[in-house]
A and B are shown apart, each in its own frame.
Chain A
């Protein structure tokens, strides 16, 4: 490979400069090499890829892409596809590819995988993609950080609303990370639209930052940039297993969702691809998920017998991921609207939200032990202003409204009025004014105490 590349160096320079098409053959992808587009880190892909090669003799080529970039890559190269598989976490990513007709149906031969994990079906009912592991969202914390700042360990989402955590919490945005989206949606479904958003905004008021990558959250907790993070389980579990002074817990309201794998349509090596799926679901493949650098929940209940002590087992501990009956259709109906709302209200207005939250928390602290009905009412008003959502739950799921936020361009025949940017600016104006008003109210209330 190296030698052939070097051979062609001069030719390439020549070809580019003089636009002559004299090229020495470059070694193409070796035939039979399985090309997997994946969002997983090398810790996962190298370990599993090596074990797969040992078991079957098939070599793999792992193409690391962010989930969203992976989708775009497959869409862009569809006309001349060179990838065999897509392997990532978020089920909705697979939904997008399925919708574009870029996936190939496949029927699994391995037995012993249940229908559901928590309240979520493991496999795509239509048979396009398969779950190979389960993951759920939870809270991760840095033990040294909490000890140094004298903070208690949080175990519930509502703990994160408390003023003691001000400036200590980190999370990614739902528009950046599919699994973060799921957490936001789960809480909204579990608590209801109004209350759910109110809760998210009180938690967000305590944010230190909204990270641009989902790995930014465990990274921040591991290095101590912030003490508490809202993360997907394997980030927390694998950080702990790698020796970082961190720990992880599932709060009661969480959803377990399968992480998936699928065969790409017109795959160059369909046989090798199906062998990979079978391997991943076999007892050996499932056992690999318990490697300390991977730490994902297997979908085969029998594998848990080999798990380390204290490892969560959703097939036994029914409290994990079953408190909320997750409604996939409801989630789908407002997917992009939720992303946009969160970004407008939290991600891009974080400093305003933090300032208002700080003022309210200060006023609440002053109010403690005193009785001042007027000040109390003002603080409540301030809280209400922060919680306010520009649109109702019904509007958020409205079909014609959602079309404005659709990722793909609509057919010319579909008539849509209004643009996303227009709505976002209107929301932004409203939200910014509310935060400013809330801050002013809280300061005024505090001055009366």
Chain B
């Protein structure tokens, strides 16, 4: 009884701490900004009139439908790209798996606006591809026209969300399930359709809903492609051009939040009432089989085709970084190393800041993510669902809004010792990144925990382990796949984030890479050096991601080795 109440106390104070963090760094700043949506623009009194205006404005209705269309199509295209990749890596003994696991994550680690620049040069109306097609066949293909461009760039950028989460889920599937199905006569696509894919559903839904939400609220890509008639750009353009007190931008922000929560709720409903957990771990994962030679060739062909497609922004950026002048031609006029020389004058500080900020932010995220996932799925803490909703809702807060909110809330709060307003201290950038990326880590941790059977914890506690010991020794290790996926997604995407950072960087020595690239890309002579910096960013973040991947993997291996021994006994 005593230990029970101690556990409760611990859990409640944990929930309280997380709640406080979310309150201070998410709710208060956003409420400060969103409050405007409910103010009469003329008198300042509280009103709902702005929402009436929103729903009776045809431009906003169109923007809403466009955003919905683009987000859905992006999920579709991202699924087409990632499902085969995830399936091949987890199902077959196939050398290409390493290729997929390393190259498949790379698209995430490039700021989408940089990707859009490269994609325009390759696939734009007068880009390389269309210049060639026009020369050979006399017509052009509108890859990048209007909403097509946004869908293409977004799905190429965000499909790793599905790939990572789906792969993690597939690896966690209990082999005995598959064996039973095979014993009962299922095989091939039927096995995949009826057994494997449904069991991996939590991972897929986690990834797909992330892609949907991210695309729904992404700002940089449509802006760079000059698409105005979507919700997020409308909110941004409203706030940045009409002015901070124009209510419509804030109304759109409210709508974005509400809709995102709604779609998350729908995805929860889709999974409700189904048990995805597996009792047995350690011997888990699908049965891998060897490929016949012709199958191998087919698999390689598909994988390489997909990888070339999703890596085209990087290929384009690489060419841009080595090219002299690239204008209305298939390839640049000549090649040079000069851009790399120009870029290095500022790069080391940017790189250091990026690794520091993104690393810290991802660390905060997986700790919070694991804690919230545990509170939600394993405890009866009052309001635990709300922790989940609030933390996940951060995904729907446009970066600009969060940035303005932070400026408004923390400018008059002086950090002791440092003697600087919190709003212009570099730590605020870390916090904003952590808050913005928390939903990713949380989804991944949730999916990880969902696959751990509660029976294992009960067993642990029956054997006399305390709650916290059970969490540390049983739950966290078993869900480490999910935690790892969460850390990598948070880290990689935080390192290329721009929208909130651009509001919060108050000294150039505090600026991260994405900011540096953006700065370079704002002048004619800076496009080459900017691209070179982009390539450096991809390489460095790629290496850092790979190292963290290895570290966690090694750690896991050591421990599972121990587990196997005890199982053998």
Contacts and interface: CB of A to CB of B under 8 A. Distances in A.
Interface string A222-265: 11110000000001001100111110000000000000000000
Contact of A145 (B233, B328, B416, B427): B328
A62 interface: yes
Interface centre among B42, B125, B326 (most CB of A within 10 A): B42
Nearest to A24: B417
Interface stretch (B51-59, B276-284, B444-452): B51-59
B17 A19 contact: yes
A244 B325 contact: yes
Interface string B388-420: 000000000000000010011001101111111
B240 A223 contact: no
A13 B360 contact: yes
Interface residues on A, range: 35 or more
B21 interface: yes
Contact of B126 (A23, A224, A238, A243): A224
Interface in A408-443: 408-410, 412, 415-417, 419-422, 424-425, 428-429, 432
Contact of B328 (A148, A210, A243): A148
A142 B325 CA distance: 12
B359 to A, nearest CB: 8
A175 B237 CA distance: 8
Interface residues of B, number: 90
Contacts of A404: 42
Interface in B505-551: 505-509, 515, 519-527
A251 B509 CA distance: 42
A303 B350 CA distance: 36
B242 A339 contact: yes
Contacts of B415: 23
B191 interface: no
B74 to A, nearest CB: 20
Contacts of B414: 80
Interface in A133-167: 142, 144-145, 148
A211 B361 CA distance: 33
A300 interface: no
B243 A407 contact: yes
Contact of B364 (A13, A409, A428): A13
A77 B407 contact: yes
A205 to B, nearest CB: 16
Contact of B503 (A69, A245, A420): A69
Nearest to A221: B327
B44 interface: yes
A6 B359 CA distance: 12
Interface string A194-227: 0000000000000001111101101100111100
A421 B248 contact: yes
A77 B424 CA distance: 9
A19 B523 contact: no
B121 interface: yes
A42 B526 contact: yes
A5 interface: yes
A29 B426 CA distance: 12
A298 B526 CA distance: 22
A142 B158 CA distance: 34
Contacts of B120: 223, 225
Interface in B364-391: 364, 367
Nearest to A68: B240
A23 B526 CA distance: 38
Given A212-B233, A244-B325, A409-B44, A428 B228 contact: no
B328 A407 contact: no
A212 B522 CA distance: 13
B228 A347 contact: yes
A76 interface: yes
A27 to B, nearest CB: 9
B522 A225 contact: no
Nearest to B121: A223
A41 B515 CA distance: 12
A9 B356 contact: yes
Contacts of B53: 419, 421-422, 425
A-B complex: 4 closest residue pairs judged by Cβ atoms: A224-B328, A407-B243, A41-B523, A421-B53
Given A26-B425, A68-B241, A409-B44, 4 more contacts: A69-B503, A76-B423, A77-B506, A421-B50
19 contacts: A5-B356, A28-B419, A63-B505, A64-B515, A77-B421, A77-B423, A79-B412, A80-B414, A210-B226, A216-B226, A223-B327, A336-B242, A339-B242, A408-B245, A419-B49, A419-B53, A420-B246, A421-B247, A424-B57
